[in-house]
Amino acid sequence: MTTRFLMTPLLSTLIAFSAFAQQSNSKATAQPAASTDRTASSSQPGPVAAKESSPANSNSNDFWDGEEPSLGALLTHPFASKEYVRRHVQPIRDRINELDELSDTHSKSIKDVDARAQQGIQLASEKASLAGEHAQQAAAKAESAQQTSASLNTRIDADEKVIGSIDQYKSGAQTEIRFRPGQTVLSKDAKAALDEMALPLKNQHGYIIEVQGFSAGQGNTAMANSRKMADSVARYLVLNHEIPAYRIYVVGLGNGSGSKGAHRTRVEVSLLKSDLPQVAKQ
């Protein structure tokens, strides 16, 4: 309670002192300004004096002088003037504007980089898709080539089996053509026997005809006679039945030891056919 009574006179004294100081400051400021106006009006015309009086009035209206106000100014005028606030705030505003410009510039740069990055990503994605399609096509071609290779291997195996068995023949029809000693002309019965063997071979493949001649006698004479008889048989087959000559194998064996009871002057004709159907159809 005592403290409240003591503070009240103190606050009243401070308020009175502040009002007195403000009034004194206003008077002191007004007197120099008036003397300056009188001096300027006596030395120069009216318009110039009005121009020079403006700074004085502006200075008198400035409550705080300098960057750091005095203690008296703070006590008499506790609130800063607009000019003082503007003078101190303007650099901050300029700096803020500069930062805003930098922020806009950086934002534009970021957007540009992001757009280029998106474009690069899209281009890379398109190239990756194209590469994927090429890879799929290559895989399909590789699979097709593998299937073709497997098919070729199968066919090669089959062909190898055919080639391995192509020279294997089975005995077919056989006939014996007899001749008189020294004779090489085919008789009517001999021609009939050859016709019976050759007629089924028309337009056929995969066969050969083996013609072996045997003749009585000894040495080269028997060999020559047996060859002549075999040649007459082969000639008849080629001329009368159009059997290719490369399918007829002729050999003169001379005085060969035939089977028991065989005629000594004869020609044995044997048909040999391949047991492979695909060869026989060629």
Q: Which residue has the higher pLDDT, 195 or 47?
A: 195
pLDDT over threshold 60, residue 198: yes
Q: What is the mean pLDDT of residues 163-186?
A: 80
The residue with greater pLDDT, 63 or 119, is 119
Share of the chain above pLDDT 90, in %: 24
Other Cβ atoms less than 10 A from the Cβ of 76: the count is 20
Lowest mean pLDDT among 26-35, 89-98, 258-267: 26-35
**254 or 110, greater pLDDT:** 110
Is it the case that residue 73 has pLDDT exceeding 70? no
**Rounded Cα distance, 114 and 67, in Å:** 47
E-strand ranges in the chain read: 169-178, 207-214, 248-252, 266-274
Decide if pLDDT at 183 tops 90. no
* 69: helix, strand or coil: coil
Q: Return the half-sphere exposure (C-beta side, CA atoms, 13 A cut-off) of residue 261.
A: 0
Q: State the Cα angle at 11 between 9 and 17, rounded to 5°.
A: 100
Amino acid at 10: L
Contact criterion met (CB below 8 Å) for 175 and 193: yes
Residues in a beta bridge with 212: 251, 268
Domain boundaries, the chain: 2-80, 91-165, 169-280
- Return the percentage of the chain with pLDDT > 70, whole number: 63
The CATH superfamily holding the domain 169-280 is OmpA-like domain (3.30.1330.60)
Of 246 and 46, more confident? 246
Asked if the model's pLDDT at residue 261 lies above 50, the reply is no
pLDDT, greater one: 157 or 267? 267
Give the span between the Cα atoms of 109 and 43, in whole angstroms: 63
